[in-house]
Structure 1
Amino acid sequence: MTSGRGNWQYPSGRLEGARHHSGGFAMDVTKIPAGKAPPSDIHVVIEIPQGSAVKYEVDKESGAVMVDRFLFTPMAYPAAYGFIPNTLADDGDPADALVLVPAAVVPGAVIRARPIGVLRMEDEAGQDEKIVCVPHDKIHPQFSGITEIDQLPAITRDAIEHFFTHYKDLEKGKWVKVTGWEGRESAEAAISQSLARAAK
């Protein structure tokens, strides 16, 4: 899914942009590694807190967290949402990721996480995928026994699928179709592919 983050470039294997030269709060995501041991132990830059009805995005030029839009539907993000730094998905943006968290995480924070599955989708811009993660055990033990997406309660998976199926319903010309869930192995393969793509 093409986003308002802009065209992310990785010359010499690095992410261009997200540099802030005037002081103040901003990130240089080129300095954030993809994880401790990707693709199984990754970092996710949070853009949108769990429970938010506002879609935030990190601006690649300034590193600032920008308000992209308010959701048109009366819905809220079912998990913390962001991207895996120093990756590049098929749509030209960093790989999208959700992290199931016990409390809201502020935009701009970086969380250490473990991928457990991937939600495959299609939208008006083409193929899309969301890597679903849980916090690393050192961050919080709540999900320490969860290694695969099908170990989550069905209601949790259903809530994520329902959100992404319907959150664009009131936006003209936009649509989403969920095509299925895949497990941890597929999620890690997608991350590895996005890392290789970014390094070219």
Structure 2
Amino acid sequence: MSFANVPAGKDLPQDFNVIIEIPAQSDPVKYEADKDLGLLVVDRFVGTGMRYPVNYGFIPQTLSGDGDPVDVLVITPFPLLAGSVVRSRALGMLQMTDESGVDAKLIAVPHDKVCPMTANLKSLDDVPEYLKDQIKHFFENYKALEKGKWVKVDGWVGIEAAHKEISEGVANFKK
């Protein structure tokens, strides 16, 4: 598979593709897409033993402020396979900073045509508070045992900020 062949989406920023790197509730292994190889590679084992509460991936053909593609957390009723592509829409974004700088995470669900079970989720207000707490807790703690690494969660922002992150990511990639 070549990540370079996967478009960012059909109707950006409202309708975008996400390549899944880490399935929800999978073993605590951090995978990263290697754009040169076109494969997922093991970045590291998560020492805290924590599992990602939702699917973790990225929007292809984007570049965020940290030099990586735009990160996305995709809420689904079932875990998705690593390397799969899911058509998605944003609900909002978790703003964070880590040892490398700004590291925002879009919060998304599959497009309604892909998953009618999440069609009722229109914004972060519709996401159960407990799930938002799990996501926040995960990112506040998953690097806790890694020397020199840290994360500060700055808070939740809405769909407009998520759409701006996508649009800027596409523009940065095209530069």
Normalising by the smaller structure, the TM-score range is: over 0.9
TM-score normalised per structure 2 = 0.96
Q: Which residue of 1 aligns with 2:8?
A: 34
Contact kept in structure 1, 2:76 and 2:118, CA below 8 Å: no
Q: Which whole-Å CA distance do the structure 2 matches of 1:148 and 1:86 have between them? A: 25
Q: Which residue of 1 aligns with 2:81?
A: 106
Structure 1 segments of 4+ aligned residues over 6 angstroms from their partners:
none
Contact kept in structure 2, 1:147 and 1:184, CA below 8 Å: no
CA displacement, residues 151-186 of structure 1 (integer Å, 9 cap, x when unaligned)? 111001111000000000011111101001001111
- In the TM superposition, what are the counterparts of 1:120-135 in structure 2 within 5 Å? 120-135=95-110
CA displacement, residues 51-102 of structure 1 (integer Å, 9 cap, x when unaligned)? 1211111212111221111110021001111110011100111101110111
TM-score normalised per structure 1 = 0.85
Largest Rg, 1 or 2: 1
Judging by fraction of residues, say which structure has more strand.
Answer: 2
Q: Which whole-Å CA distance do the structure 2 matches of 1:65 and 1:123 have between them? A: 22
Q: Partner of 1:177: helix, strand, or coil?
A: strand
What is the number of residues matched between the two proteins?
A: 174
The answer on 1:80 being equivalent to 2:52 is no
Q: What runs of 5+ residues in structure 2 fail to find an aligned partner?
A: none
Task: Tell me the percent identity.
Answer: 51
